[in-house]
Amino acid sequence: MFRSLQSRLFLTYLLVTVLVLTVIALLLIYFLLQAPNPIGQQIEYRRLDFWISQFSSREARGLLTLPPGRLTEVIERVDQMVKARTLLVGADGEVLSDSRPEEEPLPLDILSKVAASNADTRGLFRYTPVDRWLYVSSPLGDQRWIILVAPQPTLRALGLLGNELLRTLLVAGSVALLFSIILAWLIAHWVTAPLRRMAGASKAVAAGKYDQQLSLTGPEEVQSLAAAFNEMVRRVQTSRQAQRDFVANVSHELKTPLTSIQGFAQAILDGTAQKPEDQQHAARVIYDESDRLRRLVEDLLDLARIDTGQVAFERHQVDLGALLRSVVERLSVRAEEVGVHIESRLPDFPPIVGDGDRLAQVFTNLIDNAVKHSSEGGVVNLRGEKEGGWISIHFDDAGPGIPPEELSRIFERFYQLDKARPGGRGRGVGLGLAISREIVQAHGGRLVAQSAVGRGSRFTVQLPIIRPDDSTLVRSHP
């Protein structure tokens, strides 16, 4: 019955409410029954005040003229009517008449206080620590005072509470309990409703419906959980879209060279390419496309190993200056063949920790791309700088630039800026920049791109500088 979170929360709130109401009721009863009791005390004071005002206003002058015997009878009759010990006091606190002379006399300080006052007084005195008495007094004139004394009530049998007060307390408690039940249910529903929606959305995602978004309502913790769920769904959607794009791109990249290989191989087999130059051309196309397939497979394997953290990056000190000069020297010949000059101005870099071969792969890819996108007679510039704890290496080309809508996508896998470039040696597979970024990030660095249409592009590799207490700055790929 109480397996759901809502029912358990409701039961918890209800039990807490009942417990609080019970404690309040017990404390109230204890307060009312306890001696001294403020409520009973006030009630008794008012009763005595009422009687002494009535008595003194009607019979004050008569009491002053009565003989001692008659005065005692009147005082005793007042005691029976008021149910309070009645005393007549003269100057200096002398007791002139007492309705209960057999009881313990009033304390002298009380009698002196009454005799010294010209107005109504009230107070409390004790014979013992647990024996409390209330008194009220009023002057009658001619230096005489009347005093009414009664024990302070304790309400030990709830008799003075009365049926009305008890009924009122029961009604108030019932109403409070009813509202507490309603409030407990509303609070439980308020807390669990977002969780139920989240459970439903999770089932929908498990069923393949990824267009689920939760509203950020409820307690702060539930809102945080809903925000995390929304972010998770967004990433799942992005990941699935990336997977679909990946499969589509791989299929396309494999299909194009395979079609060319199959077509030219068929031309050789069926005799269509009979001339030596035709056969030479077919063989060249088959070689180029197979080489492209090889590079594609190698790049895919590199990405798979990086994604799964299986790439074992070397961790040793790297001289970036020497590494860059080596890459530039190796690519300069190819660049000169297409009329592009590579110019480098590199400062003395401090050492870093990393994998020199993988970093050379990044630099080779960036310089090669810069050469490919530079027009004949253009210059590819390499610039380096050190700022703070970072080394920045800029690769500038003199190409046509990258449009802003394309710039945000150039690091996507299989994304190719020049979609019209023909296949073969001159056309890549769209994985070089993606692999380069993964390698740079694995070294704790960043690879960023800037471009302006018609003014060329700049790719910047930022790597952290080694510190004396560093063992390595190469991080494992998540």
Residue 222: band (very low, low, confident or very high) from pLDDT cuts 50, 70, 90: confident
Which two three-digit tokens encode residue 70? Answer: 């008659």
pLDDT of 140 = 81
- Whether residues 305 and 413 share a domain: the answer is no
- Digit-coded pLDDT (tens) for 9-57: 777 777 888 888 788 777 766 665 554 566 677 888 888 888 888 765 5
Q: Which of 122, 151, 180 is the last residue of a domain?
A: 151
Structure tokens at 274: 């009979």
Q: In this structure, are 43 and 144 located in the same domain? A: yes
Residue 395 has pLDDT above 90, yes or no: yes
pLDDT band at 429 (very low <50, low <70, confident <90, very high): low
302 and 387: one domain? Answer: no
Q: Do 321 and 386 belong to one domain?
A: yes
CA distance 110 to 133: 11
Q: Are residues 128 and 235 in the same domain?
A: no
CA Rg, the chain, in Å? 51
Regarding whether 412 and 395 lie in a shared domain, the answer is yes
Mean pLDDT lowest for which of 134-138, 245-249, 313-317, 372-376?
245-249
State if pTM tops 0.95: no
Shared domain check, 330 and 454: yes
The three-class DSSP label of residue 112 is: helix
Cβ distance 214 to 233 under 8 Å?
Answer: no
Confidence of residue 476 (pLDDT cuts 50, 70, 90): very low
Percent of the chain's residues with pLDDT above 70? 83
Hey, is 458 helix, strand or coil?
A: strand
Decide if 271 is inside a domain.
yes
Residue 14 falls within a domain, yes or no? no
What is the Cα–Cα distance from 415 to 436, expressed in whole angstroms? Answer: 14
pLDDT exceeds cutoff 70 at 426: no
Q: What is the pLDDT of residues 195-205, one digit of tens each?
A: 778 788 888 87
Tell me the pLDDT tens digit for each residue of 136-145. Answer: 998 887 788 8
User: In which band, very low, low, confident or very high, does the pLDDT at 168 lie, cut at 50, 70 and 90?
Assistant: confident
Asked if the bond preceding 351 is cis, omega within 30° of 0, the reply is no
Residue 443, pLDDT > 50, answer yes
Would you say residue 176 lies in a domain?
Answer: no
Residue 477 in domain: no
Judge whether residue 477 has pLDDT over 50.
Answer: no
- CATH number of the domain at 297, please: 1.10.287.130
Amino acid at 402: I
- Average pLDDT in the 371-382 region? 88
Q: Which residue has the tokens 């997977």?
A: 243
Q: How far apart are CA 377 and CA 341, in angstroms?
A: 7
* Count of C-beta atoms within a 10 Å radius of residue 286: 19
- Check residues 66 and 333 and name the one with the higher pLDDT: 333
| Residue bearing the bigger pLDDT, 72 or 68 | 72
Between CA 277 and CA 285 the distance in angstroms is 12
- Res. 478: pLDDT tops 60: no
Verify that 320 and 390 share a domain, yes or no: yes
Domain count for the chain: 3
pLDDT tens digits along 87-112: 888 888 888 888 898 888 888 888 88
* Domain end call among 127, 151, 175: 151
Q: How far apart are CA 32 and CA 42, in angstroms?
A: 12
Provide mean pLDDT across the span 63-79.
79
Q: Please check whether residue 207 lies inside any domain of the structure.
A: no
**Secondary structure E strands in 72-180:** 85-89, 95-98, 121-128, 131-141, 144-151
User: Count of CB atoms within 10 A of residue 145's CB?
Assistant: 25
Domain annotation covers residue 173? no
Q: Do residues 329 and 399 both lie within one domain?
A: yes
Residue 438 lies in a domain: yes
The enclosing domain of 113 has a CATH number of 3.30.450.20
Please tell me whether residues 328 and 442 are part of one structural domain.
Answer: yes
The per-residue pLDDT for 423 is 39
367 — pLDDT class (breaks 50, 70, 90)? very high
Q: Pick 204 or 217 by higher pLDDT.
A: 204
Q: What is the pLDDT of residue 420?
A: 44
Which pLDDT does position 157 carry in this prediction? 41
Mean of per-residue pLDDT scores for the chain: 79
Determine the residue type at 32.
L
Q: pLDDT tier at 149 (50, 70, 90 boundaries)?
A: very high
Same domain, 339 and 412: yes
Asked whether residue 277 is assigned to any structural domain, the reply reads: yes
The answer on 321 and 305 residing in a single domain is no
Q: What percent of the chain has pLDDT over 90?
A: 10
Q: What is the CATH number for 348?
A: 3.30.565.10
The length of the chain in residues reads 478
pLDDT at 418: 55
Q: Which of 151, 173, 196 is the last residue of a domain?
A: 151
Per mean pLDDT, which of 206-210, 412-416, 465-469 is the most reliable? 206-210
pLDDT of residue 116: 85
| pLDDT band, residue 467 (cuts 50/70/90) | low
Location of structure tokens 């995602």: 205
| pLDDT above 60 for 158 | no
Partners of 123 in beta bridges: 135
Run of H or E including 84:
none
Domain encompassing residue 291? 213-310
